Chains A and B, each alone.
Chain A
Amino acid sequence: EVQMVESGGGLLQPGGSLRLSCVASGFTFSSYSMNWVRQAPGKGLEWVSCISSSCDTITYADSVKGRFTISRDNAKNSLYLQMNSLRDDDTAVYYCAYSSSDRRWFDPWGQGTLVTVSS
């Protein structure tokens, strides 16, 4: 059974930093791209970032470019999101999901981890 477990969320002030983690199981982690998707309270889903299986391609949504850094550790089946210069509008539940060139959809979804940015 494929499973994604996100962690690392919390409450912090604007301008702060936080590192999210996602541990994946049930599939060959090193063979797939990994993504972060977020959802602000009461708002829609927003794709945030993607890292290819070998880390040679990394992409970001314009809303986080220059502030967030995605990384992965294939030996630990783990995905990370380093979030710097956090703003109020980064408040959201953050989900991780895997994809590939012939699997361009997100399934399953974990429970997500809540990041709240507030003064």
Chain B
Amino acid sequence: QSALTQPRSVSGSPGQSVTISCTGTSSDVGGYNSVSWYQQHPGKAPKLMIYDVTKRPSGVPDRFSGSKSGNTASLTISGLQDEDEADYYCCSYAGRYTYVFGTGTKVSVL
């Protein structure tokens, strides 16, 4: 049950693209197409941004996209906007009714 590894921080200027990686193992990220991503602004509850690796819930801007290769999932924010500045967490199903979250990434808009 080790946390998935994310970079501590990423940054970009408005309009640029940033990508957050989420590295796990074959027992979690690599073993299931069940990776989700959450955005969290300070003092707020997390918000679902991506589920099942690539799917976007209704209302989430299409500048947010997800992908996976092997044991690493990624969240890309294209056309970065000021309101995208927040913490982001990945999460993967890890089998037998268990889940594991990532260590979290702070996205800064320069």
Contact = CB atoms under 8 A, between A and B. Distances in A.
Interface in A41-94: 44-47, 50, 52, 57-59, 61-62
Interface stretch (B10-18, B19-27, B31-39, B74-82): B31-39
B99 A109 contact: no
B101 A45 contact: yes
A105 B48 CA distance: 8
Interface in B85-107: 89, 91, 93, 96-104
B99 A50 contact: yes
Contact of B104 (A45, A62, A105): A45
A116 interface: no
A50 B97 contact: yes
Interface class of chain A by DSSP: loop
Contact of A104 (B36, B47, B89, B104): B36
A25 interface: no
A60 to B, nearest CB: 9
B52 A44 contact: no
Interface residues of A, number: 25
A27 interface: no
Interface centre among A33, A37, A95, A112 (most CB of B within 10 A): A37
Name the residue in B36, B52, B89, B99 with the highest tally of chain A Cβ atoms < 10 Å from its Cβ.
Answer: B99
Contacts of A104: 32, 34, 36, 51-52, 93, 99
Which of A50, A104, A107 is packed against the most chain B CB atoms within 10 Å? A104
B69 interface: no
Interface of A: 33, 35, 37, 44-47, 50, 52, 57-59, 61-62, 95, 99, 104-112
Given A44-B104, A47-B100, A95-B46, 16 more contacts: A35-B99, A44-B89, A44-B101, A45-B38, A47-B98, A50-B99, A57-B97, A61-B1, A61-B98, A104-B99, A105-B48, A105-B52, A105-B91, A106-B38, A107-B48, A109-B47
